Amino acid sequence: MNERKPITRTKTFSFDMWPVWESNPIPRIQQVVSDSDWFLAVVFSAIQLERFGYYAILDFFESLKPEEKEALADILEPLSLTEIASSLQKIKIVSHEEFSAIMAINDERNKFVHRRKIPRFARTEAKTKYLPLVKDAMAILRNRLKAEEKRLP
């Protein structure tokens, strides 16, 4: 009878590593990139694109009456990063190229989070694959979604 060997990680996972509600996520993304923690870099980038994108869409509809804004927030709440990115492109907050970059980071996030078999890359291969995606995410957060300036709830 074949026994399964337990899966071990070299790093200990902790929810302290997930500063999801920071107002400026860019320094934390840069930190995990410098640590070559590509799982955290990709997943955290996707989380922050979704979060800041959601608020950018709300800001776009700033002229709505307060009760209409509540309804809009209820409509937007269940949206995925794919739907948020599509909306950001439709209201011209992000370009087609930036939309494609968001979709690429979302695809990699999904591979990390939802699939059992994640290809193992050597450090240089992982850096080659993930660093451009994370840099694109940081540029969109910085330049389009104003993540360094915005104070979110």
Query: pLDDT tens digits for 68-89?
Result: 777 887 888 888 999 999 999 9
- How many domains, in total, are found in the chain? 1
Q: Which is more confidently placed, 29 or 22?
A: 29
Asked if the structure places residue 109 within a domain, the reply is yes
Residue 14 included in any domain: no
74 part of a folded domain: yes
Q: Model pTM? A: 0.74
- Residue 62: give the domain boundaries: 35-144
Q: What is the per-residue pLDDT for 52?
A: 92
pLDDT of 48 > 90? The answer is yes
Band (pLDDT 50/70/90 cuts) for residue 111 is confident
52 vs 66: which has the higher pLDDT? 52
Residue owning tokens 């300036």: 149
Assess if residue 150 is contained within a domain: no
- Mean pLDDT in residue range 9-25: 55
Mean pLDDT for the chain? 81
User: What per-residue confidence (pLDDT) applies to 23?
Assistant: 75
**Residue 16 covered by a domain:** no
pLDDT at 5: 42
Look at residue 120 and tell me whether its pLDDT is greater than 80.
no
pLDDT value of position 2: 44
In a domain, residue 75? The reply is: yes
- Decide if 11 is inside a domain: no
Residue 27 burial by CB count (10 A; 0-12/13-18/19+): exposed, middle or buried? exposed
CA-to-CA separations, 111 to 46, 85, 98, 119, in angstroms, rounded: 12, 18, 20, 9
Structural tokens at position 83: 């739907």
For the residues 117-142, what does the mean pLDDT come to?
83
What is the CA 25 to chain-centroid distance, rounded?
A: 10
Report the pLDDT averaged over residues 89-97.
95
Non-local (6+) Cβ contacts of 80 within 8 A are 50
- Indicate whether 7 pLDDT > 50: no
Q: What percent of the chain has pLDDT over 90?
A: 42
